[in-house]
Amino acid sequence: MSGPVTIDTSSLMIGLAQVRVGASATNIAFTAPVLSASDSVGAMADVKFVGNTDWYKHEAGFPLLEDYTVPIREGARIECGVEEGNPFNFALAYGIDPTGGTYANTHSGEVVLGGRTAPAYVRCEVTYTYPNGENYMYIIGPRAQVTANIEMEFQKESNASVPIMFEFKTADSNVSGGSAVWDNRPLGRIFWS
């Protein structure tokens, strides 16, 4: 046999992950998942993790040849499309922390347009269940800000979805509102169980 051969079929990833949102300040000291399925933003059109790194490449000699690479900027984010159009999800998309109880997962409420300010900090947890139903992957952004340009496209035969981007921000003890439990992983963590 040649080519890439599956080493462990239980690690194949098929299907969507669940995105859960909670208060950042209340849960900042926990490195394990603390949010439950009831904290989910609901049905998703897509969920994507992006870990960006900008690299500095040093060159020397003539002609110039690369001899060293080092990261100079790092970021992490979750990009997703939320299918459930309720006040909770719209407030979240507008950078408001909807976890205080003012915004509900119902057809009642209001999100004002205009006068946006800096997005609130929220905790973002992504829970992915592998197809075998026994293994899990978790992505935790303990201190994230939601940035999005709101677009809703209503179509004849498919769901509208609202794009939301959770940008993971520094959560270690060097920032106000951070915690020492994140000192060696300031943007959060990905882990498996």
Contact 68, 58 (CB under 8 A): yes
Average pLDDT over residues 96-120: 88
β-bridge mates for residue 192, sequence order = 137
pLDDT in tens, 8-46: 999 999 999 999 999 999 999 999 999 999 999 999 999
Q: Please state whether the predicted TM-score (pTM) of the whole model is above 0.85.
A: yes
Backbone angles phi, psi at 14, to 5 degrees: -135, 135
